[in-house]
Chain A
Amino acid sequence: MFKYFARRILISIMVLFIISIAFFFLIHLAPGDPIDAMYTNIPGMTQEQLDAKKAAIGLDKPIIVQYGIYIRNLVLRGDFGESIQFKRPVLDLIRERLWNTFALVFAAMAISMLLAVPIGVTSAVKKNSAFDYIFTSVAFVGLSIPSFFFGFLLIKLFAVDLQILPAAGVQTPGNMFTGAAMLADRLKHFVMPVSVLAFINMASYTRYVRSSISDVIKQDYIRTARSKGLVQRIVVYRHALRNGLIPIVTILGSSLATIFSGSLITENIFSWPGLGRLIYGAIMARDYFLLMGVNIFTAFLVLLGQLIADAMLVLVDPRIKYN
């Protein structure tokens, strides 16, 4: 087991290295560079001045050397470099935005799980009932609707027509709220972005829970539990759910990448100041170090999530032995 996880961690580190190399070369080989992107519209800059600015951030060196310097600083000092457009450490910029994205992603994950488990279980137990049909259809809509279209529908309904929810941002601009008023304001801004992300997530979770529980309730030990005369609720929630949730833990880990990806679009719809918006701005400005930093950081989080899901699997399922 220890060996298995040691190997997994090693592979994850290797994956991170490969991602860093791929990104670094991709970004540097693409046409345009940050200095040109920043100063082309400013008249009176001579070529010498531009070259000096490029040399100052090391752009005049061969790509391999640049990568070597970058990765050395990252590995030895945890230094992601400095954003070219903001002139501030990349890590600080990530830290400022990280919690906004985290809040969005984890709230959406938690809410979709809390809804998907009872819905999926009931669908599986009462297969082919009206309940099953309705929620299977809802899940199909969730799988098929573009998140931005769903977001627009919500904005149109709740922000434009009913005017009960704010359409953008994390808080009312320029507010002086404190305490409960501040919390209420934040929560209001939270409702729509989280709903979009949670609904789309819930659709796929529901389908997994339903099919996993359907498999479990056909097992012999469930029949035994029933024949002992246990009530349905206890059979389902105490015996079936425990085993049925095992595959779901795996899904949680692998869905992390999808949710982080999805949050990028949700952040765009609701002008949510998170990592997604940061990366979008970094691309437009050809901000090499910021772009590298956010991408590597996200990949790191996703890999970490998958490792944690694997470890959790051992906790919930004692039958699993990695080797």
Chain B
Amino acid sequence: MNRFFKNKMAIVGLAVILLFTAAALLAPILTPHDRDSYNMAQRYAPPSARNLLGTDPMGRDVFTRLLYAGRISLMVGVLSSAISASIGIVAGSLAGFYGKWLDIAIMRVADVFSSLPFYMIAITVMALFEPSVRGTVAVMGILWWTDSARLLRSQILSLREREFMEATTALGISDIKKITQHLLPNAFGPIIVSVTLNIANAILTESALSYLGLGIRIPIPSWGNMLSDAQNMFVLQNYWWIWISPGLCILFTVMSINFIGEGLRDALDPNLDR
């Protein structure tokens, strides 16, 4: 029953993400408005047939910016997770497979990285070097590799003692092939779960950095920087459509991805009793 409930949530989550992705990709078809063109005569217009979710303080169409922001937020989440997973996979397999001093060295570096207070580093780096899409992806990608590295290392440590690995040695298979063709496929499950949950976290973090003005910068819209408008008490008080909609977009996206991740975890680990 519980698993059924969880899976149902995962399916709902998947549907929401597919819908959001499609909407983001089809933005030019779904909206007649231009992303950045502002119109001072149309500022703070409430939702109407013309502007489905009203307009922002610059008179830009909120619905249109939401769609285009979805592109950025989803892309940043996926790309940065891909980078951190790649670094983590390389570091984790080297540490787990070769062990000895290489293992110690890599794990010590991982210790250093995971004891860094993330936002302090992120905002320092982003503010010192111009905030940008590329910078946001890079900061998260580079700082977050330690979890997947630890995960993969422990997987490989247990896998490499198994009999099929003895067989690969007997067959004279090279180290590279051992890792890429025999160890990694067997450790695939936990990695995919961790990458999925990491995407959710990356989207949440991107939104926070952009909200602070240190992530994605206007005119490029991101759900986070659209919420910065609410820092103005006047907007917060009177124009709910400007900040409630991007906030809900972040919440629904991140929650859906978390549901998918949990669903994958249950599906890939049938022994788990949750």
Tell me the A residues contacting B by CB distance below 8 Å.
11-12, 15, 18-19, 23, 26-27, 30-32, 127-128, 133, 140-141, 143-149, 152-153, 155-156, 160, 167, 211, 214, 254, 257-258, 260-262, 264-265, 268, 279-280, 283-284, 291, 294-295, 298-299, 302-303, 306
Contact indicator A283/B123 (Cβ below 8 Å): yes
Q: A172–B176 Cα gap in the complex (Å)?
A: 65
Interface size on B, residues (CB 8 A): 43
Residue B208 interfacial (CB < 8 Å): yes
Q: What is the distance, in angstroms, from B126's C-beta to the closest C-beta of chain A?
A: 9
Contact indicator B224/A144 (Cβ below 8 Å): no
Q: Which of B35-43, B167-175, B188-196, B247-255 forms contacts with chain A?
A: B247-255
Q: A261–B254 Cα gap in the complex (Å)?
A: 19
Residue in B closest to A257 when the chains form the complex, CB atoms? B117
Contact indicator A261/B117 (Cβ below 8 Å): yes
Q: Which residues of B contact A140 (CB under 8 A)?
A: 255, 258-259
Residue B230 interfacial (CB < 8 Å): yes
Contact indicator A15/B123 (Cβ below 8 Å): no
Contact indicator A149/B251 (Cβ below 8 Å): yes
Judged by DSSP, the binding face of B is helix
Q: Which residue of B108, B120, B236, B258 is within 8 Å of A295 (Cβ)?
A: B120
Residue B207 interfacial (CB < 8 Å): yes
Q: Which residue of B118, B258, B273 is within 8 Å of A257 (Cβ)?
A: B118
**Closest CB pairs A-B (n = 9):** A30-B128, A149-B247, A144-B255, A261-B119, A144-B254, A283-B127, A264-B119, A152-B230, A128-B2
Q: What is the distance, in angstroms, from B108's C-beta to the closest C-beta of chain A?
A: 7
Q: Which residue of A254, A268, A302 is within 8 Å of B212 (Cβ)?
A: A268
Q: A133–B2 Cα gap in the complex (Å)?
A: 9
Contact indicator B115/A214 (Cβ below 8 Å): no
Q: Which residues of B contact A30 (CB under 8 A)?
A: 128-129
List 20 A-B residue pairs with CB atoms under 8 Å apart, sorted by A's residue number. Answer: A19-B112, A26-B124, A31-B129, A143-B258, A144-B200, A144-B254, A145-B250, A146-B211, A146-B224, A148-B211, A149-B250, A153-B247, A160-B236, A257-B114, A257-B115, A261-B119, A264-B120, A284-B127, A291-B124, A295-B121
Q: What is the distance, in angstroms, from A183's C-beta to the closest C-beta of chain B?
A: 27
Residue in A closest to B257 when the chains form the complex, CB atoms? A144
Sample of 5 more A-B contacts, CB < 8 Å, known A141-B251, A146-B207: A141-B255, A146-B254, A155-B236, A261-B118, A295-B121
Residue B237 interfacial (CB < 8 Å): yes
Contact indicator A306/B115 (Cβ below 8 Å): yes
Tell me the B residues contacting A by CB distance below 8 Å.
1-2, 5, 108, 111-112, 114-121, 123-125, 127-129, 200, 204, 207-208, 211-212, 224, 227, 230, 233, 236-237, 240, 243, 247, 250-251, 254-255, 258-259, 273-274
Q: Which residues of A contact B227 (CB under 8 A)?
A: 146, 148-149, 152
Q: What is the distance, in angstroms, from B81's C-beta to the closest C-beta of chain A?
A: 16
Whether A265 touches B212, Cβ cut-off 8 Å, given contacts A141-B251, A149-B247, A152-B230, is: yes
Q: Which residues of B contact A214 (CB under 8 A)?
A: 273-274
Q: What is the distance, in angstroms, from B262's C-beta to the closest C-beta of chain A?
A: 8
Contact indicator A15/B112 (Cβ below 8 Å): yes
Contact indicator A279/B108 (Cβ below 8 Å): no
Contact indicator B251/A146 (Cβ below 8 Å): yes
Q: A261–B205 Cα gap in the complex (Å)?
A: 11
Contact indicator A167/B251 (Cβ below 8 Å): no
Q: Which residues of B contact A284 (CB under 8 A)?
A: 127
Contact indicator B212/A144 (Cβ below 8 Å): no
Contact indicator A257/B116 (Cβ below 8 Å): yes
Q: What is the distance, in angstroms, from A301's C-beta to the closest C-beta of chain B?
A: 9
Residue in B closest to A155 when the chains form the complex, CB atoms? B236
Residue in A closest to B230 when the chains form the complex, CB atoms? A152
Q: What is the distance, in angstroms, from A231's C-beta to the closest C-beta of chain B?
A: 25
Q: A269–B258 Cα gap in the complex (Å)?
A: 25
Q: What is the distance, in angstroms, from A274's C-beta to the closest C-beta of chain B?
A: 13
Contact indicator A279/B120 (Cβ below 8 Å): yes
- The interface centre, meaning the residue of B123, B124, B273, B274 with most chain A CB atoms within 10 A of its CB, is B124
Q: Which residues of A contact B251 (CB under 8 A)?
A: 141, 144-146, 149
Whether A260 touches B115, Cβ cut-off 8 Å, given contacts A144-B251, A146-B224, A167-B233, is: no
Q: Which residues of B contact A257 (CB under 8 A)?
A: 114-118
Q: Which residues of A contact B111 (CB under 8 A)?
A: 11, 15
Q: A188–B126 Cα gap in the complex (Å)?
A: 34
Q: Which residue of B115, B123, B243 is within 8 Å of A264 (Cβ)?
A: B123
Q: A295–B53 Cα gap in the complex (Å)?
A: 41
Q: Which residues of A contact B247 (CB under 8 A)?
A: 146, 149, 152-153
Q: A141–B125 Cα gap in the complex (Å)?
A: 30
Q: What is the distance, in angstroms, from B21's C-beta to the closest C-beta of chain A?
A: 17
Residue in B closest to A275 when the chains form the complex, CB atoms? B120
Q: A127–B233 Cα gap in the complex (Å)?
A: 43
Q: A140–B255 Cα gap in the complex (Å)?
A: 7
Whether A133 touches B5, Cβ cut-off 8 Å, given contacts A146-B247, A298-B117, A299-B115, is: yes
Q: Which residues of B contact A291 (CB under 8 A)?
A: 124
Whether A26 touches B224, Cβ cut-off 8 Å, given contacts A11-B108, A18-B112, is: no
Q: Which residue of B124, B237, B240, B255 is within 8 Å of A27 (Cβ)?
A: B124
- The interface centre, meaning the residue of B208, B227, B258 with most chain A CB atoms within 10 A of its CB, is B208
Q: A160–B128 Cα gap in the complex (Å)?
A: 35
Q: Which residues of B contact A155 (CB under 8 A)?
A: 236
Q: A186–B259 Cα gap in the complex (Å)?
A: 39
